Structure 1
Amino acid sequence: MITTYIGIGSNIEPEKHVKAAIDELKLLGSITQISTVYEAEPVGFLSNNFFNLVAELEVTCSLSELAARLRAIELKWGRLPDAQKNQDRTLDLDILLYGDVISNNDPKLPREDLFKFAFAILPLVELNPDLIVPGTKTTISEIWNHFTHNQSLKPALINLRS
């Protein structure tokens, strides 16, 4: 089993799509933890706020298979095949970490979001603050403690159990 951390985001019917993402991830492996769902302002464009969270998932599939399956889930739930960066999303599923894999290919790991965006860092701190980010000697909580908090995050009022 490989422990992977998946970033989940949506700003189009976000409650519906976040719940759908959790249900779909359960079909890929065993979800061991889910962070708080945070409401976050979009970064780089003006639009509706996003719901963001991170799920810790135990999987047996390869990295390439996981990436393909996450892409298929995004498309199933209405993401446009040619979606651009800084655009509204029904569902965005990003592999933040996949075990201790470091990759410069697609998907790049560890994902750069772990060093750039509060919506990726804070939920991971919540799940595993002492996790050392592969390729660094730094824990995720150390990254958070040195991070310039330039994005407003607040817990979203969403019940993932229903």
Structure 2
Amino acid sequence: MPHVYLSIGSNDNAADNLRRGVRMLAEQVDLLAASRVYETAPVGGGSANYLNAALLIDTPLARDVLKAQLRQIEAACGRVRTDAEGRKSKVVALDLDIIVYGDDAPDDDLARYAYVAVPMADIAPDLIPAGESKPLHTVAQRFANSDLVVRDDIQLLPPAEG
């Protein structure tokens, strides 16, 4: 089964929707790891702050089938992609994106946005993003002055049993 890295985010009832999305995902795939949760202002402003994290999963699902499953989970958590006027909605109940699928090249967003790079560096520090020569833990340091705030009060996985 391929390792798959996902980005997960929400700005609507965010902590609850992240947890719900992770629970629903864990019913369909093997959930191996989750990053810390980070809070950040939305790109472009105009909406509530986001909570973002990264997940590592194993799945037998083909990429397109997995993407369809992720869209179903988003919808079940209340995701509406466009507002009443047909514009992209600024209220995002849940957003799940494939960042790396197996041996495929990582998504370009990995090194472009702090809300993707920093959580991913928590769980895949040695991954080398597309177009980069350095590992993700080094790339993520570029975002040291970003507005990301670690939210240690929000856990996506239950504590490991001892």
Give TM-score, length-normalised by structure 2: 0.85
Question: Aligned runs of 1:1-162 on 2, under 5 Å?
Answer: 1-82=1-82, 85=88, 87-102=90-105, 110-133=106-129, 137-145=133-141, 147-149=142-144, 151-156=146-151, 157-160=153-156, 161=158
Aligned-CA RMSD value: 2.1
Instruction: Provide the C-alpha distance between the structure 2 equivalents of 1:149 and 1:88, rounded to a whole number of angstroms.
Output: 27
Gaps of 5+ in 2: none
Q: Taking every aligned residue pair, what percent have the same amino acid on both sides?
A: 31
Contact residue 41 and residue 151 of structure 1 kept, 8 A: no
Which runs of structure 1 show a deviation greater than 6 angstroms over 4 or more consecutive aligned residues? none
Following superposition, the deviation at residue 116 of structure 1 comes to 1.3
Letter of the 1:128 partner, please give it.
Answer: A
Distance 1:100 1:138, change over 3 A: farther
Give TM-score, length-normalised by structure 1: 0.85
Instruction: Provide the C-alpha distance between the structure 2 equivalents of 1:69 and 1:3, rounded to a whole number of angstroms.
Output: 16
Contact residue 39 and residue 155 of structure 1 kept, 8 A: yes
1:89-121: CA deviations, max 9, x gaps? 00000101101214xxxxxxx222212111110
Gaps of 5+ in 1: 103-109
Contact residue 45 and residue 86 of structure 1 kept, 8 A: no
